[in-house]
């Protein structure tokens, strides 16, 4: 019997600064009414300029370790779209700052699907005997890559971090990740993209004139992305349910990527899941990309929604395009 990855701890962190819809409406041509009705978002957190993704990752990672009651991990995986630097990865420095010793550490870049990809990667490392305990962190500072002139993305994306500790255990234990479904369609890479800053278009963030070129900012084609998000998350969730042997109605909580409440409801409808079984925290934190799933899990745990034994289905979708799903039975843990 192969070794399973079992959820042993959960921690979350959002920067203190709250940005309301009204704050944004003062800075750009938008309104609280539009943002709420089209996305479900009421406010989000944006980090101060001196705070980077790694800083948020350290906070969430420390809380997850405390929640798991251990400081002993042998791998750190950070999922992020907004690393501290293009090189090196963010994870080694996060591991160093958490005092975890000379452990393996790497980043995963799967945009909003990053955390689900990172959990699958960690589960693979545990199954292969490469690691016994893994700290998986999703952390983002989207405020650094949002174009202040682009109201279509600025009102949606936000900063935050969430982390879990996964430990080796039995597939039959509560908390065991029961299956994984991952996928991608790179033919649609331009739908969600930061065009510059990589090897195709290397450029610094600021030109000699002091302005920042539009290509260094995040760009998203909202409408087609919406359609693909619903289709892919619903299909991936169904594949996962078939693998695990659960019916949609037997799922206690659907923890989907927090992009848009209309997307979450559409996925629930397609799956045949009651909408009130969908965890929603995007109203308070916006779309935090790779941090979205652990922040939603942490929010549901802190609101007392999750009871040990509950069946949890997680599904994400993002740039790449990428998507992925996993599931577990909620264990006895105290989230931090």
Catalytic: 281? no
Indicate which residue of 21, 112, 219, 281 is catalytic.
Answer: 112
CB nearer ligand UT7, residue 81 or residue 326: 81
Catalytic: 87? no
CA distance 136 to 143: 22
Dihedral of alpha carbons 227, 151, 297, 116, sign: positive
CB nearer ligand UT7, residue 189 or residue 249: 189
CA distance 73 to 47: 28
Tokens 């900063």 belong to residue: 159
- In whole angstroms, the minimum distance from the beta carbon of 294 to ligand UT7 comes to 15
Scan residues 222-281 and list those touching ligand UT7 (CB under 6 A). Answer: 222-223, 225-226, 229, 259-260, 263
Scan residues 17-76 and list those touching ligand UT7 (CB under 6 A). Answer: 30, 34-35, 38-39
CA distance 61 to 80: 14
CA distance 320 to 33: 31
CB 100 within 8 A of CB 133: no
Task: Give the residue at shortest CB distance from ligand UT7.
Answer: 222
The greatest distance separating any two alpha carbons of the chain, rounded to the nearest whole angstrom, comes to: 62
Q: Does 106 bind ligand UT7 (CB under 6 A)?
A: no
Catalytic: 257? yes
- In whole angstroms, the minimum distance from the beta carbon of 266 to ligand UT7 comes to 11
Crossing angle of helices 222-244/261-271, nearest 10°?
A: 40
* Residues near ligand UT7 (CB under 6 A): 30, 34-35, 38-39, 112, 151-152, 155-156, 222-223, 225-226, 229, 259-260, 263, 287, 289, 317-318
Catalytic residue numbers read 112, 257, 287
């Amino acid at each position: 019997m192969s070794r399973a990855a079992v959820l042993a701890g959960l921690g979350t962190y959002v920067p203190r600064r709250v940005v309301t819809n009204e704050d944004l409406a003062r800075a750009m041509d938008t309104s609280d009414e539009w943002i709420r009705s089209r996305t479900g978002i009421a406010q989000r957190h944006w980090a101060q300029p001196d705070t980077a993704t790694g800083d948020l990752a350290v906070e969430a990672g420390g809380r997850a370790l405390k929640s798991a009651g251990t400081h002993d991990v042998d791998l750190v995986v950070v999922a992020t779209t907004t690393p501290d630097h293009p090189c090196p990865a963010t994870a080694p420095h996060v591991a160093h700052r958490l005092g975890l010793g000379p452990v393996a550490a790497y980043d995963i870049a799967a945009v909003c699907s990053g955390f689900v990809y990172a959990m699958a990667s960690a589960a693979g490392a545990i199954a292969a005997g490469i690691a016994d305990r893994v700290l998986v962190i999703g952390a983002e500072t989207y405020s650094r890559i949002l174009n202040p002139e682009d109201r279509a993305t600025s009102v949606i994306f936000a900063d935050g971090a969430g982390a879990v500790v996964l430990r080796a255990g039995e597939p039959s234990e509560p908390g065991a990740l029961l299956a994984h479904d991952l996928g991608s369609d790179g033919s649609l890479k331009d739908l969600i993209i930061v065009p510059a800053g990589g090897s195709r278009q290397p450029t610094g963030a600021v030109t000699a004139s002091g302005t920042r070129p539009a290509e260094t900012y995040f760009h998203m084609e909202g409408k087609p992305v919406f359609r693909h998000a619903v289709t892919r998350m619903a299909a991936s969730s169904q594949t996962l349910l078939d693998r695990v042997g659960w019916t949609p109605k037997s799922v206690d909580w659907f923890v989907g990527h927090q992009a848009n409440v209309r997307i979450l409801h559409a996925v629930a409808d397609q799956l045949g899941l009651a909408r009130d079984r969908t965890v929603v925290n995007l109203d308070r934190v916006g779309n935090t990309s790779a941090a979205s799933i652990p922040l939603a899990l942490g929010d549901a745990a802190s609101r007392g929604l999750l009871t040990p034994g509950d069946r949890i289905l997680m599904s994400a979708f993002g740039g790449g395009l990428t998507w992925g799903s996993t599931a577990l039975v909620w264990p006895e843990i105290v989230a931090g």
